[in-house]
């Protein structure tokens, strides 16, 4: 089944194309000439050791950083293309339909769970309320839109199994529930690409299993493509169709989970190698690179 979807989606058009992305902070090259593609309907995982630059890539994609070089193209279902590096941060969610979550959860902790999801539907509701003016005068259009927004929020609360806590302050939720709420909130913006920064961090096995199901449900029901950074290999290997490995700002591997799992470069990056084995590994790598170079046009 998993194989089928990958082969099927591989032929499809890419939803996100990152080309020659570089990000320099002063003298530090955090990302160096990084390119990859995320395919529509896929779950793409971005992995790598700590400090590899994964979150920096995310921040470039979602507009929190302006990349030093490179091009990030988001292609919507309608065929419309957006160059994300040129858009201001909030327009990336508003127009390009890319939503994200954060490594350290960012909730509106003093607002209720339901309110959190309503805030996420800001742009839609703003339009319905005639930029506040019509809503202030009590026009029915806004009331209708507000009811629909609550319905959508309810839908996602049920998906994230948070419906019982809808009227509680978000800050009162346990950690795992906050993670799910953040994902539900991002989904309320109606994204085509959902970027998750370590969604399973700090979750226990049961919670991360629930998270897997939530993510697969999102992909199945809405066709939203997912790009995620993750350290939890059980999540990565189980749900992702495509894995990109980053080390020191450079791509070292790119392919199906099985391919990446057995790539000696990835193993070396994660586990490190002993001094006497270094040459051996380098040889191996060169061999593989030679082989890969052939396949890579």
Partner 1 sequence: MANIASTTASAGTEVTARALRESVFAGLITLGLFVLFVGLKTDQNIRNELILTQRWGLLAIFVIIAMVGRFLMVAYVQPWLARRKAAKAAAPEVAKEESFFSRNFSRIAIVALILYPPVIVALFGIQGSLKWVDNFGIQILIYVMLAWGLNIVVGLAGLLDLGYVAFYAVGAYSYALLSTYFGLSFWVLLPVAGLLAACWGLVLGFPVLRLRGDYLAIVTLAFGEIIRLVLINWTEVTKGTFGVSGIAKATLFGIKFDASKDGFAALMGLPISSVYYKIFLFYLILGLCLITAFVTIRMRRMPIGRAWEALREDEIACKSLGINTVTTKLTAFAMGAMFGGIAGSFFAVRQGFVSPESFVFLESAVILAIVVLGGMGSLTGIAVAAVVMIGGTEILRELAFLKVIFGPNFTPELYRMLIFGLAMVVVMVWKPRGFVGSREPTAFLRERKAVSGSFTKEGHG
Binding-site member from 73, 103, 150, 250 for partner 1 (CB under 8 A)? 150
Contact (CB, 8 A) for 167 and 153: no
* Residue 142 touching partner 1 (CB under 8 A): yes
Rounded Cα–Cα distance for residues 153 and 216 (Å): 19
Encoded tokens for 93: 């969610």
Binding-site member from 159, 179, 180, 185 for partner 1 (CB under 8 A)? 185
Contacts with partner 1, 87-106, as mask; x by CB under 8 A: --xxxxxx----xxxx---x
- The 3-state secondary structure of 10-69 reads HCCCEEEEEEEEEEEECCEEEEEEEEEEEECCCEEEEECCCCCCHHHHHHHHCCCCCCCE
* Residue 110 touching partner 1 (CB under 8 A): yes
Contacts with partner 1, 23-62, as mask; x by CB under 8 A: ---------------------------------------x
Closest CA relative to residue 60, chosen from 95, 94, 102, 18: 18
Rounded Cα–Cα distance for residues 180 and 215 (Å): 10
Closest CA relative to residue 74, chosen from 96, 55, 93: 96
Binding-site member from 19, 33, 115, 207 for partner 1 (CB under 8 A)? 115
Binding-site member from 72, 114, 160, 200 for partner 1 (CB under 8 A)? 114
Considering CB under 8 A, how many residues would be counted as binding partner 1? Answer: 49
Q: Are strands 14-25 and 69-75 parallel, antiparallel or unpaired?
A: antiparallel
Question: At 249, is the secondary structure helix, strand, or coil?
Answer: coil
* Residue 178 touching partner 1 (CB under 8 A): no
* Residue 159 touching partner 1 (CB under 8 A): no
Residue number with CB closer to partner 1 (18 or 173): 173
Which residues ranging from 247 to 286 are in contact with partner 1 (CB under 8 A)? none
Site residues (vs partner 1, CB under 8 A): 62-64, 89-94, 99-102, 106-112, 114-115, 118-123, 125-126, 129, 132, 135-136, 142, 146, 150, 154, 163, 166-172, 185-186, 189
């Amino acid at each position: 089944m998993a194989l089928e979807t990958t082969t099927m989606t591989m032929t499809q058009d890419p939803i996100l194309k990152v080309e020659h992305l570089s990000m320099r902070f002063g003298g530090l090259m955090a990302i160096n000439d990084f390119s990859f593609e995320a395919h529509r309907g896929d779950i793409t995982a971005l992995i790598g050791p700590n400090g590899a630059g994964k979150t920096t890539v995310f921040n470039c994609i979602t507009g929190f950083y302006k990349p030093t070089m490179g091009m990030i193209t988001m292609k919507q279902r309608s065929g419309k293309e957006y160059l994300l590096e040129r858009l201001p941060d909030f327009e990336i969610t508003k127009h390009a339909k890319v939503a994200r979550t954060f490594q350290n959860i960012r909730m509106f902790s003093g607002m209720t769970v339901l309110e959190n999801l309503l805030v996420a539907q800001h742009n839609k509701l703003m339009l319905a309320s005639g930029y506040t003016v019509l809503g202030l005068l009590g026009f029915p259009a806004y009331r209708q839109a507000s009811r629909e927004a609550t319905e959508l929020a309810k839908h996602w609360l049920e998906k994230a199994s948070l419906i019982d806590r809808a009227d509680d302050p978000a800050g009162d939720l346990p950690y795992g529930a906050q993670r799910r709420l953040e994902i539900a909130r991002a989904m309320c913006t109606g994204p085509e690409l959902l970027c998750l920064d370590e969604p399973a961090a700090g979750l226990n096995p049961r919670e991360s299993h629930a998270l897997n199901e939530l993510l697969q449900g999102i992909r199945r029901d809405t066709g939203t493509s997912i790009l995620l950074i993750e350290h939890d290999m059980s999540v990565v290997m189980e749900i992702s169709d495509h894995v990109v490995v980053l080390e020191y700002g450079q791509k070292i591997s790119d392919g199906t989970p099985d391919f990446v799992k057995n790539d000696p470069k990835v193993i070396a990056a994660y586990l490190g190698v002993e001094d006497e084995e270094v040459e051996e590994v380098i040889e191996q790598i060169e061999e593989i690179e030679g082989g890969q170079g052939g396949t890579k046009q």
